[in-house]
Amino acid sequence: MTLKDGWNGRFYEDFQVGDVYRHPLGRTVTETDNTWFTLLTMNTNQMHFNSEYAAKSEFGKPLVVSTLTVAIAVGQSVIDTTQNAFANLGWEDIKLPHPVFAGDTLFSESIVLEKRESSSRPHAGIVTIRTRTLNQDGDEVCTFRRTFYVYKRGAEPLNDLFPEAKKPLTLDTEDERA
């Protein structure tokens, strides 16, 4: 049997300026997501949770909390950009050019803008990306720049994290019943 590692994310060496990563998972935002996030973050603007109030606005219905849109965009990008990051250094130029409503499905992609070796951490580099998020109709609903520290391949903190099993994994289904 051959052991195959799962996707471990990108390391500093894997980033090239100009590379575009289309993040693989879309996410449909529900009314429940919006309500919970509004409550969790103590956002008291009724545009996000009061349908009667929002019906009188130019949008005619509640808006998804903008910080939830940003959080989903960041989360969607992790698999391709920051799976091996250990610190976000900042977000810049956050824009929300189109409203998001419950029922919208969001998709994100990122482009590598800059990268450089860290002068203080030889096991890491600094990468800057721009991420944009589209709804199901292709409207850009969010965009931002993000800079983060990311480990280099073979960095000590990442070595040998998977525990050694007390019993090996086999093809024999009889072992699973024991």
| CATH label of the domain that carries residue 37 | 3.10.129.10
Please determine, for residue 56, whether its predicted confidence score (pLDDT) is greater than 80. yes
Determine the Cα–Cα distance for residues 99 and 113; give it in Å rounded to an integer: 26
Residue 166 lies in a domain: no
Domain that includes residue 37, residue range: 12-154
pLDDT at 26: 97
pLDDT at 157: 66
pLDDT at 117: 94
- Mean pLDDT lowest for which of 126-130, 136-140, 171-175? 171-175
Residue 126 lies in a domain: yes
Work out the average pLDDT over 96-104: 97
Determine the Cα–Cα distance for residues 124 and 117; give it in Å rounded to an integer: 7
pLDDT at 108: 98
Residue 167 lies in a domain: no
Residue 174 lies in a domain: no
CB atoms closer than 10 angstroms to residue 27: 17
Confidence of residue 169 (pLDDT cuts 50, 70, 90): confident
Confidence of residue 114 (pLDDT cuts 50, 70, 90): very high
Q: DSSP labels for the chain?
A: -----------GGG--TT-EEE-S--EEPPHHHHHHHHHHTT---GGGT-HHHHHTSSSSSPPPPHHHHHHHHHHHHHTTTTTTEEEEEEEEEEE--S---TT-EEEEEEEEEEEEE-SS-TTEEEEEEEEEEE-TTS-EEEEEEEEEEEEPTT-GGGTT-SPPPSS---S-HHHHH-
Domain count for the chain, please give it: 1
Residue 38 lies in a domain: yes
Q: Looking at per-residue confidence, does 82 or 175 come out higher? A: 82
Residue 169 lies in a domain: no
Confidence of residue 38 (pLDDT cuts 50, 70, 90): very high
Residue 178 lies in a domain: no
Residue 61 lies in a domain: yes
